[in-house]
Amino acid sequence: MSVSNMSIISIKSDIKNRARLKSEIFNRSSNIELIKKELSSYIVDFRENISCSSIIIIYKDTQLSEIITKIQSLFHTTIKQSTAAADSICGVNSNCSNCSIKTDSNPLSFKRKLIEFGLLTGYSVYLFAVKNILGVTVLASPLSVMALVSVVAAIPLFKESYEDIKNGEFSLQTFMSGTLILAILFGEAMAAFEIIYILRGGMLLEEYVATKSKNQIKNLIELDVQNAYVLVDDVEVQVPLEEVSVGDVVVCRSGDKLPVDGLIVDGSGHIDESLINGRSESIYKEKESDVFAGTLCESGRVYIKVTAVGEDRYISKVMQDVEKSLALKSPSQIEADLLAKKLLRLGSILTLGTLALTGSFINAFSVMIIMSCPCSTILAASTAISAGIANGAKLGILIKGGESLEKVSQSEVFCFDKTGTLTTGKPIIKDIVTAKGVDKNSLMEYLAIAEYRNTHPIALSIQEKAKELKIEASQTAKTEVIPGYGVKSVYGEHTIVAGNKKLLEKESITTERFEDQVFHHLNEAKTIVYVCVNEKLLGYITLEHEVRAGTSKMISDLRKKGVKHIALITGDEEKVAQSFANNLGFDTVYANQSPHDKANAIEELKKQYKNVVMVGDGVNDTLAMSKADVAISFASGGSEMAIEVSDIAVTHSHPEDVVNLYNLSKKSLEVVNQNYWIGTSTNLIGAAFASIGLLSPAAAGAIHIGHTTSIMANSSRLAIDNNS
Ligand code: ADP
Ligand code: MG
């Protein structure tokens, strides 16, 4: 059929009935349609990423081998089982043949297209000069040089339409090739040249915008580490990253980007983990701490026992997640595809109609030329959305897919988690209050034991305070983290319970004896963490949270933009939450929320409003985030889950980035709409003029150049703008 016998299908992954396949046969929509039809009875979900030549299928009642055999018989291809760690984001991965053509790693193809386009531009300048300056008539007959140049320039287009015709499909390419050939045959080589000139220019521009956005995302999450230093018999040996395996000990020094996930077995250093959890301040890590690939060793030296390499690394999983989401079309892209199909049909009808009504071939041609690029409507959405995603990446906002980008500015409710999201990474311990006969240091020691290796903001402050007080906390306790409540830890004969009032109620421990003092502290909006050992309340500590700079402005800005409802959803106590919310201007406060309560609050709001955004740090809000229409991770609690479950990750955790994101979303949609307007209106008005003979084929071609380039230029404005 439409593919040569040499095509190869690589199985990139096949886990639990979900397979990702890659092949050059997947880079044509007509082939995808055929496959979909053939496999319809086995496929639960089918997603294609044509520009990446890959498909993701979720299948049932069959084996992958059977599915592949079916595709094989459709296209007569050979199959190659690939084990390469190629599951990565399109345009980032050098193993992806399509991507490597499009990105810097192999700029030849783009360069070649640019040169070819340059030659065509030179030729059109020459034509213009000859015609308008010298006043010489340029031959436009079927056998003229112009006709020849047009045909040569259109070879790639002819090839594509030949494939489509063989498949019995009437595609855009077929329509355009038909227009070109007819124009040449009827002595309108000038119009033919114009069509192909715009087409080549448009393709080039689209590639430029797409490459730019992919590179931006690539820069944001790329692990540009090629080599690692592995400890062999106490000597550091440099080896290529592929040769590092689980169990090896890798050495990283200040300035190094960590190449693997692992556990520090020796040494210590300050690690900047902003890439994976958004914390702006680096964390001091020593023996027994987990570290992740892609984070930066700012100072010190760490010896890391490798726990994950290649695709198993946390950041690689995030990339796969991003890739999956980017492969999905956004609502406006889906709309654009439909519109393009309608315009193609309309174009054919108008062309034939004009011919039938006016009997003029020239008029029909002009209509055909004007209508021959409904692709401009497809470009209208796709270029704007990918440019928007690229601009997000530049601001440190990782947007996984166009749908989320579009939804942000269509949301009526924004919900925010408090601790770790709107407050900075580390609260400040203000008071240590103990029961009679209990020493403050021993209370802190129990706390430090229970919070050992916990990454919750409160736990981090406790660890720091313990260090300040020179308390060496034991590391042997068995601890259970109870999200939204606190921790429960068994240390020898001691059971330590540390957390909020709700946790103590759950454990049936009364807080009565401290009631008056606590009341006073709560009025000061301090968070209380109670400490109990063997069901006896030893005392509590109070913490003051530092609100992230710009939070109040973010809330008022969102309101000005038209967000209807802004809610605070927190696990902290009513009083603390209320005072926090009143100072910052929230509409509602949900306090004392467990992870389930948070999710319920989102469900409630979803019933009343259109689109609900949840901004959280993923510590106890992953469930709520998964219920929201758009989940934004704004991490600082150290939760690696946050970026994974979110649709959008704000890596710098700046509140103003939420407003930037909102603006970006709004602007992307505006550009999509402007583009539609440019595309459709010029098409239709032009076709009307052409049908009554007011536009020559050459003028129709010129209009076409105008509208396609304006769409491209309008979209690339989004990628170039630094802020919106
Ligand atoms: P938020 O919902 O504002 O992000 P969290 O759900 O992270 O807050 O925490 C809610 C409350 O649970 C905290 O105010 C604190 O009282 C208690 N808590 C949570 N984690 C811990 C911990 N590791 N140690 C002690 N208390 C904790
Ligand atoms: Mg939180």
Instruction: Tell which one of 485, 497, 636 to mutate to probe ligand 1, the residue whose CB is within 8 A of the most ligand atoms.
Output: 485
Cβ–ligand 1 contact at 529 (below 6 Å): yes
Residue 615 — very low, low, confident or very high, per pLDDT cuts 50/70/90? very high
pLDDT at res. 531: 97
Tell me which amino acid residue 340 is: A
Average pLDDT of the chain, as a whole number: 82
pLDDT tier for residue 93 given thresholds of 50, 70 and 90: very low
Q: Is 665 in the pocket of ligand 1 (CB under 6 A)?
A: no
Taking the alpha carbons at both ends of the chain, their separation in whole angstroms is 48
Of 203 and 161, more confident: 161
Architecture per CATH, 424-547: 3-Layer(aba) Sandwich (3.40)
The pLDDT score that the predictor gives to residue 422 is: 92
Question: Which numbered ligand comes closest to the C-alpha of 483?
Answer: 1
Torsion of CA 171, 173, 176, 181, to 10 degrees: -110
User: Three-state DSSP class for 673?
Assistant: helix
Per-residue model confidence (pLDDT) at position 27: 79
Q: From the CA of 570, how far away is ligand 1's center (Å)?
A: 9
The predicted structure's pLDDT at residue 642: 61
Owner of token pair 């448009």: 202
The per-residue pLDDT for range 290-315, each reduced to its tens digit, is 898 888 898 899 999 999 988 888 77
- Tell me if 463 CB under 6 Å of ligand 1: no
The residue whose C-alpha atom lies closest to atom 14 belonging to ligand 1 is 572
Tell whether ligand 1 has an atom less than 6 A from the beta carbon of residue 701.
no
Strands 565-569 and 588-590: parallel
164-173 pLDDT, tens digit each: 888 887 777 7
Q: Write down the pLDDT at residue 322.
A: 67
* Residue 62 or residue 246, greater confidence: 246
| Partners of residue 481 on adjacent β-strands | 487
The finding on whether 417 has its CB within 6 A of some atom of ligand 1 is yes
Q: Is there an atom of ligand 1 within 6 Å of 427 CB?
A: no
Model pLDDT for residues 258-280, shown as the tens digit of each residue? 999 999 999 999 988 776 665 66
Ligand nearest to the CA of 637: 2
What is the C-alpha separation between 496 and 488, in angstroms, rounded? 6
Fold of 221-322: 2.70.150
On the question of pLDDT at 534 being above 70, the answer is yes
> Ligand 1 pocket, 366 CB below 6 A?
no
For residue 595, pLDDT over 50 is answered with yes
pLDDT digits (tens, 9 = 90+) for 646-700: 889 887 788 999 999 999 999 999 998 998 888 888 888 888 998 888 887 778 7
Instruction: Give distance in angstroms: CA of 487 to centre of ligand 1.
Output: 9
* CATH of the domain spanning 8-88, picked from 3.30.70.100, 3.30.1330.40, 3.30.420.40, 3.50.50.60: 3.30.70.100
CATH entry 3.40.50.1000 includes domain 398-422+548-651: yes
Ranges of each domain in the chain: 8-88, 109-213, 221-322, 329-396+666-724, 398-422+548-651, 424-547
Question: What would the two tokens of residue 627 be?
Answer: 């219920």
CA of 440 to the centre of ligand 1 (A): 21
Sequence-distant (6+) residues with CB within 8 A of 110 are 101, 102, 204, 207, 208, 211
User: 595: left (phi > 0), else alpha (psi -120 to 50), else beta?
Assistant: alpha
In this predicted structure, what is the pLDDT of residue 543? Answer: 95
> Higher confidence at residue 68 or residue 47?
68
**Which ligand has the shortest distance to the CA of 572?**
1
Q: Which of 45-54, 73-82, 667-676, 692-701 has the lowest mean pLDDT?
A: 73-82
Predicted confidence at residue 209, as pLDDT, reads 63
pLDDT grade, residue 495 (50/70/90)? very high
- For the cut 80, the answer to whether the pLDDT of residue 527 exceeds it is yes
Nearest alpha-carbon partner for 300 in 256, 259, 269: 269
Ligand 1 pocket residue status of 531, Cβ below 6 Å: no
pLDDT at 599: 92
